[in-house]
Homo-oligomer: A and B are copies of this chain.
């Protein structure tokens, strides 16, 4: 990649926008929008009689009402594209409308798609999600999220095409380093020997991410090339925080997967920044557990779950003297 001149860089950088939004809303939370038609409140599910389109429409209405309920409380939402792709073209349409609606309400959107490939193929994914497609001499945005998750198993060839768009368009990526699932150990925790030293494979990935991120530093001192670090492995989170001091972490695994406020403190820096914590099922399906609500009030239940998650995380950070506000 040719180095960009200062005046070519998009401003403000993704990570600066993220830090500003988190600070303004006093929230380190991102809400995962992973809607499963079969799990929606009954009132919405009735539409499903209309096949794939009915299911996709119901999913979209669910999302829009969730966004209305939580947009003032969190900096970002994270739609997981698999949950839309599985309803085919209608599902992708629901995804597009969800992204646009969230952005219209001032939310940042992190598309969780874990894309990965090399060269022109990686560039094509990047164009679709965070860049522009060139058509008749113009650059056309397609899904236009603020950031995208990326799988780095293919090395630099697979990540640098995304970094290019991060820098040019003021977007972000989060590269999988240590994922929240139990069997992430099978590959990510393999003992690796590099330069005579023994380390874990996820530490090798961390060094790569740190290096890729140098080209995308924001004014806030963090990079717009972030890392995915699961809440369910707190010791690994602390270790990775030290290895990648300027990398913003996207931390899944909070709530339903078992991660707690105490588990994620080590993912933050002393400045009270450096991580956003994602919860999906424990927020969007909060109505299932909320005895005071009928399932028609799913949005209220989601709002309460987010208020509680913000409070729990901020209180834990305060206890550990790492709160930015």
One digit per residue, 1 when the CB lies within 8 angstroms of any chain B CB and 0 when it does not, for chain A 190-222 equals 111110001001001100100000000000000
CB distance from A158 to the nearest CB of B (A): 7
Residues of B within 8 A of A118 (CB): 179-181
* Chain B residue with Cβ nearest A208: B186
Residues of chain B with a CB closer than 8 A to A119's CB: 181
Q: Mark A135-152, 1 if CB is under 8 A from B, else 0.
A: 110001011000000011
A104 is an interface residue with CB less than 8 A from chain B: no
| Chain B residues, Cβ within 8 Å of A193 | 190-193, 198
Which of B125, B133, B176, B192 has a CB less than 8 Å from the CB of A192? B192
Q: Is the CB–CB distance between A93 and B82 below 8 Å?
A: no
A122 nearest CB across to chain B (Å): 8
Residues of B near A156 (CB, < 8 A) are 183, 186
A residues sitting closer than 8 Å to B (CB atoms) are: 34, 36-38, 48-49, 51-52, 55, 80, 82-83, 85-89, 92-93, 96, 114-122, 124-125, 127-128, 133-136, 140, 142-143, 151-158, 176, 179-188, 190-194, 198, 201, 204-205, 208
